[in-house]
């Protein structure tokens, strides 16, 4: 059951190609990267060569000139088999490149986007801090402008793609004046910029996540990204788009759990017959499919409004909440269908069980999405 009738021939061909790549190239090494907590450089390089990182990036800056909806379709397919690879793509594009696309100068775009679009380099977005998560307005990082140079001091937490061997830059939010937050590009080779040791995470073990320390980091005034003082508004804009992408990723995780559960229920026998013949199992999987379908419909609706240039904040919040809950619920139910095998870390459903919880937290918690939806109702 799908919504393929809403896709054009070019999108269908891309989805099929990425699905084959995910199944044949990503899936066979996913468990090893997860177990060893290693970053899949070879996979990312191939995805860069396929143009997946450059999908929504204008052609004049090395991208494919596609749209954000097409990126979401790709994220869904990748996340079916490996959420770590999917979040590397999602964060690299929506958090790493889109701030440059939307708010950067032509010079900044020419400098950074071509290599980022090919995944020769990665970019990250330094927003969250030890005391500023959902309340990003509580940013404590400071940037002082003097004699044409910004001097930045502060700490960032939970920053995806921030410490790989190919990470080239991090856009950081910083207080630049009274009640003023701005965004500034910091190349990772700048003295004083430190990616601290990687986190020991519950899931997404093959993705790259670090705390960052910025100690007297100095970058040129021209590294300001967008207008001074517009950082808060700009990153809210970026997060709205990112929530649609996360919803697509979560939908892929939810559907991946369905696919695994169906295959297992057809082949695993108990008491002389496939376990899928039992109504208790078949109904559980039917509910899983309904959740995945609803999540897909929600992110399609949000993404369609996004690319049409229409307001989509509420739709993004609904899609993010519905899809992340579908991923978590489906991971739990798939693990139950698999029984003891579902509790083994090498199984895909076990990885989805560990990976999916963060989908209800990152890029806006479920509670934040509920707040946004309630506000849209005038509450």
Among the listed residues 244, 279, 256, 245, the one whose alpha carbon sits nearest the alpha carbon of residue 330 = 256
* 77, 129, 325, 363: the active-site residue: 363
Full DSSP string of 177-241? ETTEEEEEEEETTSTTEEEPPPP--SS-TTS-EEEEEEEEEEEEGGGEESSTT-HHHHHHHHHHH
Measured CA to CA, the distance from residue 183 to residue 172 in angstroms comes to 5
Asked whether 65 and 58 are in contact (CB, 8 A), the reply is: yes
Active site residue 260: no
Measured CA to CA, the distance from residue 372 to residue 379 in angstroms comes to 10
Measured CA to CA, the distance from residue 235 to residue 169 in angstroms comes to 16
Measured CA to CA, the distance from residue 164 to residue 177 in angstroms comes to 32
Tokens 């999540």 found at:
295
Cβ-based neighbour number of residue 312 at 10 Å: 22
Measured CA to CA, the distance from residue 281 to residue 337 in angstroms comes to 7
- CA within 13 Å, CB half, 269: 3
Quick one: tokens of 281?
A: 């199992």
Measured CA to CA, the distance from residue 95 to residue 87 in angstroms comes to 11
DSSP state of 39: -
Cα angle 90, 200, 356 (rounded to 5 degrees) comes to 45
Which residues have CB under 8 Å from 261's CB, separation 6+? 284, 285, 288, 333, 334, 337, 338, 349
Measured CA to CA, the distance from residue 229 to residue 231 in angstroms comes to 6
Measured CA to CA, the distance from residue 245 to residue 332 in angstroms comes to 22
The three-class DSSP label of residue 275 is helix
Q: Catalytic residue numbers?
A: 363
């Amino acid at each position: 059951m799908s919504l393929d009738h809403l896709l054009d021939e070019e999108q269908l061909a891309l989805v099929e190609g990425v699905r084959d790549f995910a199944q044949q190239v990503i899936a066979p090494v996913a468990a090893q990267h997860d177990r060893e907590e290693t970053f899949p450089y070879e996979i990312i390089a191939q995805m860069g060569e396929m143009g997946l990182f450059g999908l929504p990036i204008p052609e004049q800056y090395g991208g494919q000139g596609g749209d954000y909806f097409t990126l979401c379709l790709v994220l869904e397919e990748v996340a079916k088999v490996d959420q770590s690879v999917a979040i590397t793509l999602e964060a690299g594009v929506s958090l790493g490149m889109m701030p440059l696309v939307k708010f950067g100068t032509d010079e900044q775009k020419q400098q950074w986007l071509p290599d980022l679009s090919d995944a020769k380099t990665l970019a990250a977005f330094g927003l969250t801090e030890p005391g500023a998560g959902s309340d990003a307005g509580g940013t404590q990082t400071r940037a002082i402008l003097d004699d044409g140079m910004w001097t930045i001091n502060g700490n960032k937490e939970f920053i995806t793609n921030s410490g790989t061997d190919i990470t080239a830059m991090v856009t950081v939010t910083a207080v630049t004046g009274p009640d003023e937050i701005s965004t500034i590009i910091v190349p990772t080779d700048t003295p004083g910029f430190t990616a601290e040791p990687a986190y020991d995470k519950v899931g997404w073990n093959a993705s790259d996540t670090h705390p960052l320390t910025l100690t007297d980091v100095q970058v040129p005034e021209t590294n300001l990204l967008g207008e001074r003082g517009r950082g808060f508004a700009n990153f809210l804009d970026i997060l709205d788009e990112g929530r649609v992408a996360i919803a697509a990723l979560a939908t892929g995780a939810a559907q991946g759990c369905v696919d695994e559960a169906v295959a297992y229920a057809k082949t695993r026998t108990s008491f002389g017959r496939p376990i899928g013949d039992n109504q208790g199992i078949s109904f559980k999987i039917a509910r899983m499919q309904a959740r995945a379908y609803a999540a897909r419909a929600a992110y399609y609706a949000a993404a369609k409004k996004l690319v049409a240039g229409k307001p989509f904040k509420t739709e993004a919040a609904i899609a993010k909440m519905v899809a992340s809950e579908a991923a978590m619920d489906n991971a739990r139910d798939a693990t139950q269908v698999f029984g003891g095998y579902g509790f083994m870390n090498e199984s895909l459903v076990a990885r989805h069980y560990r990976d999916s919880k963060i989908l209800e937290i990152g890029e806006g918690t479920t509670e934040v999405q509920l707040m946004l939806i309630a506000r849209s109702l005038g509450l």
